[in-house]
A and B are shown apart, each in its own frame.
Chain A
Amino acid sequence: MSVRIAIAQCAPALGAVKRNIDMHEKWIARARSAGARLVIFPELSLTGYYLKDLAADVACAADDPQLAPIADASRDIDISAGFVERSADAKLHIAQGHWSAGKLVHVHRKVYLPTYGIFDDGRYFGPGDRFETYTWAGGTTGVAICEDLWHVSTPYLYAAAGATIVLAPSASPGRGVAEGGDLGTAESCRLMDRFYASYLTVYVVYVNRVGHEDGIAFWGGSEIVAPDGTVAARAPEFDEDLLIGEIDPELVARERARNPLLRDEREDIVLRNIAGRLGLPFDRRD
């Protein structure tokens, strides 16, 4: 039985949380009428991305009442959305929550905070320190927020831990020109999505936003890439879109039967190699 999901390729307003919550409710309603079991929003969808000092102004605890409308809306459809989380010890994180049946069931804190070129995440946010999978109706899932996905180890760790879906909420600025005239960023992202999906035999659900912040254009192009490397659905570039697609656990099973890379993966060798190099003890338990 395949599971229908929806990607909300939207344009959040920068620093206007209340307005963004209203905007989310509209997209959630559309996803619900389209029969989706999950609707996924881009990175920092409730706050906007280039927040600078606004980050502290819009931050809240994961259980803050201002996020209650999202929890409420999740009674009959799962919701994955982005916000600035203020942890119990008052650190700010770029976070993606997953709400289901009226409750927050998982939070991923962005681990890799790009702080170079046009990015300044590390100035305003603290890094997350774990990659944890969780399970919902669509299967076992790991969340890779934007730069997290660019680190090969992130989807690898998720796949090794049993994920069949990698959700990648992003705020990717469009720039550069690829050979042949495509947008440079689009080419890099598509290459990445297809590579991870095919070689880790997982669904890669790439969720990018659109719109501008201070002259920078987010390019959209959200897509669902299946574990056989085919693009199951792709949204247009630069325009808002509700992208509907299916996650088919049978396809994961068929691909893994045909191509048992994960079954044969030697995590012990990976771990021994890294532990040895870092001088950490490695205890092999057979």
Chain B
Amino acid sequence: MLVLFIRDETAKARLQRAVVGVSGGVDSAVTVALATEALGPEKVLGLFTPYRVSSAESRDHAYQLSRMFGFALEEVPITEQVDAYFRVRKEKVDKVRIGNKMARERKSIEYDRSWPDGIVLGTSNKTELLLGYGTQFGDMASGINPVGDLYKTQLRELALSIGIPEAIVRKPPTAELWEGQTDEDELGFTYADADLILYHMVDRRLRPAELIEHGFDAQLVTRIRELVRRNHYKRVMPLIAKLSLRTVGHDFLYPRDWEAD
């Protein structure tokens, strides 16, 4: 289904190629593998965009994927432009700001390299989207996203079943926004725990009180529910002030695949 999704929706956007930011992690590994199957490896461009804190292991994994699935991988370092931007700001910069800047820098490169006939594939999984664990208009931005309805746990299983190397699937997930960062340390819980709660909360529609009754940790349930609620703005289009009798996003509602083949 995901291969057909990429093939069909790329064509409906009247585009022929796909551009994927390949970090060496499992989400982009699955995305780029699906893209090569959907469009052919010659129609897929992988972009490895290291910052100075990016690890050698990430680079090795990105190149390994490129060899395995046959897509072209380009390396575009982002250290210079990110550092140059913050150097002229005479203030103390929180590391979250640097992380966001990196994510948006990478996405701007992906969009640039997609011109004129490529679509940018999203790599945000369902866990990240629901928790809002990503940068708006950064890693969360894309033309189409084939993996956004798969929890991290499901994505790992899919990765193994399509031959993504164990070393990539099993390593601790990290956004590499600063040295030694891992997602699970930063979030304070594991993907496995979050996914189980999210699955019951979102897919099975159990209320937080019911989850707690069923024995899930009350603090964790509350925390996850709060993240989902607070970050909902990242998952929707920007609000438009309603004035006229017909307004984009409110009551001018046309499908995106409008007259698309």
Query: Which residues of A line the B interface, CB within 8 A?
Result: 13-16, 19, 50-54, 174, 211-215, 217, 238
Contact = CB atoms under 8 A, between A and B. Distances in A.
A213 B255 contact: yes
The 4 closest A-B CB pairs, nearest first, are A212-B8, A52-B253, A16-B259, A15-B259
B12 interface: yes
Contact residue range for chain B?
A: 10 to 19
A52 to B, nearest CB: 4
B12 to A, nearest CB: 7
B261 interface: yes
A16 B260 CA distance: 8
Contacts of A16: 259, 261
A213 B258 CA distance: 9
A210 B260 CA distance: 14
B4 interface: yes
Interface in B1-51: 1, 4-5, 8-9, 12
A15 B255 contact: yes
Contact of A213 (B4, B253, B257): B257
Contacts of A174: 1
B254 A212 contact: no
A54 B255 contact: yes
B254 A215 contact: no
B256 interface: yes
A212 B259 contact: no
Nearest to B4: A238
Given A53-B253, A217-B1, A238-B4, A212 B9 contact: yes
B85 interface: no
Given A15-B255, A53-B252, A53-B253, 19 more contacts: A13-B259, A13-B261, A14-B257, A14-B258, A14-B260, A19-B261, A52-B254, A54-B255, A211-B8, A212-B4, A212-B5, A212-B8, A212-B12, A212-B257, A213-B257, A214-B256, A217-B1, A217-B5, A238-B1
B189 to A, nearest CB: 26
A217 B260 CA distance: 15
Given A54-B254, A238-B1, A14 B259 contact: yes
Contacts of B254: 52-54
A50 to B, nearest CB: 5
Contacts of B144: 215
Given A212-B12, A215-B144, A54 B258 contact: yes
Interface in B228-261: 252-261
Nearest to A18: B259
A121 to B, nearest CB: 14
Contacts of B5: 212, 215, 217
26 contacts: A13-B260, A13-B261, A14-B258, A14-B260, A15-B258, A15-B259, A16-B261, A19-B259, A19-B261, A50-B257, A51-B255, A52-B253, A54-B258, A174-B1, A211-B8, A212-B4, A212-B5, A212-B9, A212-B257, A213-B255, A213-B257, A214-B256, A217-B1, A217-B4, A217-B5, A238-B1
A217 B255 CA distance: 14
Contacts of B12: 212
A19 B4 CA distance: 22
Nearest to A183: B1
Contact of A214 (B252, B255, B259): B255
Contacts of B9: 212, 215
Nearest to B148: A215
A52 B257 CA distance: 11
B253 A214 contact: no
A212 B3 CA distance: 12
Contacts of B258: 14-15, 54
A17 to B, nearest CB: 10
Contacts of B257: 14, 50, 212-214
A54 B254 CA distance: 6
A238 B9 CA distance: 14
Interface in B204-224: none
Contacts of A215: 5, 9, 144
A235 to B, nearest CB: 15
Contacts of A54: 254-255, 258
A217 B12 CA distance: 13
Contacts of B255: 14-15, 50-52, 54, 213-214
A241 to B, nearest CB: 14
A19 B259 CA distance: 9
Contacts of B261: 13, 16, 19
A50 B255 CA distance: 7
Contacts of B253: 52-53
A212 B260 CA distance: 10
A112 to B, nearest CB: 22
B97 to A, nearest CB: 32
B222 to A, nearest CB: 27
A15 B258 CA distance: 6
